[in-house]
């Protein structure tokens, strides 16, 4: 460990300040570009000891749990940065990823996220003598920081932290930590616990009783088994009500979902047949079906069934066909893609390389790529551009406020 003074030149991809050291970059958490800080250095990691020059972009963190000096919540990493440079940082993550693949399309301003919009959070939970500790893992440790406020989460989640804690206490029995996904739905909170040791009958009864007493909980699932469901959880995909399976993927904020969907729909235009790949529970398929016939392809059975059920029970939609298929092992071929006028794909963080190589050989006119990882998006887009597609626009979208995650929508045609 050595002590030295460094000047931060920019933010790294993890949101840490970066300084040039004699033998490579030094990463200093919570330091901002332009700041001069005295650090205790351990290899390429620096810890701020004192600050000699403070950036004018530094702001007071809105949440009292965001405290880099000690007992801090690990949920957010960029609360100390003003809005404009924060939004520029996220947009630059997309620009830099594209540039690394030789792509320099116009990149729109970031679709910004506001506090209180997150409808889904994943807490860590551990049993305590008095109940359960519910919160986020403290920065860079396995310790759980008990949350009493959370400015990123929706009021529907924050206002129910007491009920969430009661249900979590009834589930927690051993010393192990488990994950609790909390989703705010139209009909109440959907709680899904994973990594819980097998439940006995007495404990099951206790969980059910707690849920029935706690107002506002729609469903509790433990290790994939629905234990109690006083209300069917419902989400609204562009006017179509869907009951998503427990723990299934859902865009983290309604506002980002609407923004992404609007971009996709505007690009698809008057297409008559649309292919929705990595369709989930139908976030895009059900909206697209207002204007076009849709074929939805997805690897998991339960979200596809939820999509299908919603489509069958909603009037005014064009037909939606569904197909369960592993698109990494068995991508749709150019021959299979031929009947479609447009394709939407929204893969997991790993991207869709195998499927994109098939799309590149197809003659489909319009493609909308939705991604939660700029690096794999850039790789996938470079394959399409090499095959003759043009990128019409790229729009970065923020739905994980004060984190270093950013989504993007790229619209292409040929
Ligand atoms: C980012 S989510 C998008 C879901 C949906 N488009 C939405 O916006 O809600 C990615 C989806 O890809 C699915 N998936 C993951 N691996 C897959 C694979 N190998 N083949 C097909 N689908 C897969 C997941 O189950 C998940 O529903």
The pLDDT assigned to 144 comes to 85
Query: Whole-prediction pTM value?
Result: 0.95
* Distance (Å, whole) CA 409 – CA 103: 15
The pLDDT assigned to 139 comes to 59
What values do phi and psi take at 32, rounded to 5? -115, 155
* Distance (Å, whole) CA 341 – CA 104: 26
- CATH 2.40.50.140 assigned to domain 2-58? The reply is yes
Reading the chain (414 residues) residue by residue, the pLDDT tens digits are 778 999 999 999 989 999 998 889 999 999 999 999 999 999 999 999 999 999 999 999 999 888 766 667 878 889 999 999 999 999 999 999 999 999 999 999 999 999 999 999 999 999 988 888 898 876 567 788 888 889 999 999 999 999 999 999 999 987 789 999 999 999 999 999 999 999 999 999 999 999 999 889 999 999 999 999 999 999 999 999 999 999 899 999 999 999 999 999 999 999 999 999 999 999 999 999 999 999 999 999 999 999 999 999 999 999 999 999 999 999 999 999 999 999 999 999 999 999 999 999 999 999 999 999 999 999 999 999 999 999 999 999 999 999 999 999 999 999
* Distance (Å, whole) CA 178 – CA 233: 22
Q: Are strands 293-298 and 273-277 parallel, antiparallel or unpaired?
A: parallel
107 Cα: distance to centroid of ligand 1 (angstroms): 25
The pLDDT assigned to 68 comes to 65
For 370, other C-beta atoms within 10 Å of its C-beta total 22
- Ligand 1 atom closest to the Cα of residue 326 is 20
Class of domain 120-228: mainly beta
298 is in an annotated binding site: yes
The CATH number of the structural domain formed by 87-113+250-413 is 3.40.50.150
Q: What angle do CA 37, 40, 44 make, to 5 degrees?
A: 95
Buried b (16+ CB within 10 A) or exposed e, 278-295: bbbbbbbbbbbbebbbbb
Q: Which of 278, 322, 324, 332 to mutate to test the pocket of ligand 1 (most atoms within 8 A of CB)?
A: 278
Burial (CB count <10 Å: 0-12, 13-18, 19+), residue 308 = middle
* Active-site annotation holds for 63: no
What values do phi and psi take at 164, rounded to 5? -60, -40
Q: How many CA atoms lie within 13 A of 66 on its CB side?
A: 19
The pLDDT assigned to 300 comes to 97
265 Cα: distance to centroid of ligand 1 (angstroms): 19
Considering Cα of 110, then 113, then 119, then 124, what sign does the dihedral take?
positive
300 CB under 6 A from ligand 1? yes
**Range(s) for CATH 3.40.50.150 in the chain?**
87-113+250-413
């Amino acid at each position: 460990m050595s002590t030295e003074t460094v000047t931060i030149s920019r933010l790294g991809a993890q949101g840490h300040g970066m300084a040039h050291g004699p033998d490579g970059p030094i990463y200093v958490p919570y330091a901002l570009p332009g700041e001069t800080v005295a650090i205790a250095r351990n290899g390429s990691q620096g810890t701020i000891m004192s600050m000699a020059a403070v950036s004018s972009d530094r702001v007071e963190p809105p949440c009292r749990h965001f405290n880099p000096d000690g007992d801090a919540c690990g949920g957010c990493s960029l609360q100390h940065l003003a809005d404009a440079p924060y939004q520029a940082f996220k947009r630059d993550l997309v620009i830099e990823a594209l540039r690394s693949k030789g792509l320099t399309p116009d990149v729109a301003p970031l679709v910004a996220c506001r506090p209180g919009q997150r409808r889904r959070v994943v807490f860590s939970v551990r049993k305590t003598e008095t109940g359960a500790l519910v919160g986020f893992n403290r920065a860079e440790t396995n310790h759980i920081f008990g949350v009493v406020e959370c400015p990123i989460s929706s009021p529907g989640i924050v206002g129910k932290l007491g009920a969430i804690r009661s249900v979590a206490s009834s589930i927690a029995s051993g010393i192990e930590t488990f994950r609790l996904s909390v989703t705010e739905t139209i009909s109440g909170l959907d709680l899904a616990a994973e990594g819980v040791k097998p439940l006995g009958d007495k404990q099951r009864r206790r969980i059910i009783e707690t849920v029935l007493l706690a107002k506002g909980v729609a469903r509790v699932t433990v290790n994939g088994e629905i234990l109690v469901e006083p209300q069917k959880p419902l989400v609204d995909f562009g006017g179509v009500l869907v009951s998503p399976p427990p723990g299934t993927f859902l865009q983290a904020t309604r506002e980002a979902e609407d923004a992404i969907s609007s971009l996709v729909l505007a690009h698809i235009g008057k297409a008559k047949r649309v292919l929705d790949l990595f369709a989930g529970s139908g976030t895009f398929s059900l909206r697209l079906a207002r204007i076009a016939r849709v074929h939805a392809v997805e690897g998991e059975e339960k979200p596809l069934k939820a999509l299908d059920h919603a489509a069958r029970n909603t009037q005014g939609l064009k037909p939606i066909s569904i197909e369960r298929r592993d698109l990494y092992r068995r991508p749709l071929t150019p021959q299979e893609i031929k009947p479609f006028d447009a394709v939407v794909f929204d893969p997991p963080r790993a991207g869709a390389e195998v499927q994109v190589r098939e799309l590149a050989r197809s003659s489909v006119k319009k493609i909308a790529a939705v991604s939660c990882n700029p690096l794999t998006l850039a790789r996938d887009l470079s394959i399409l551009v090499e095959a003759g597609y043009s990128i019409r626009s790229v729009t970065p979208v923020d739905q994980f406020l004060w984190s270093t995650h950013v989504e993007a929508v790229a619209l292409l045609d040929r």
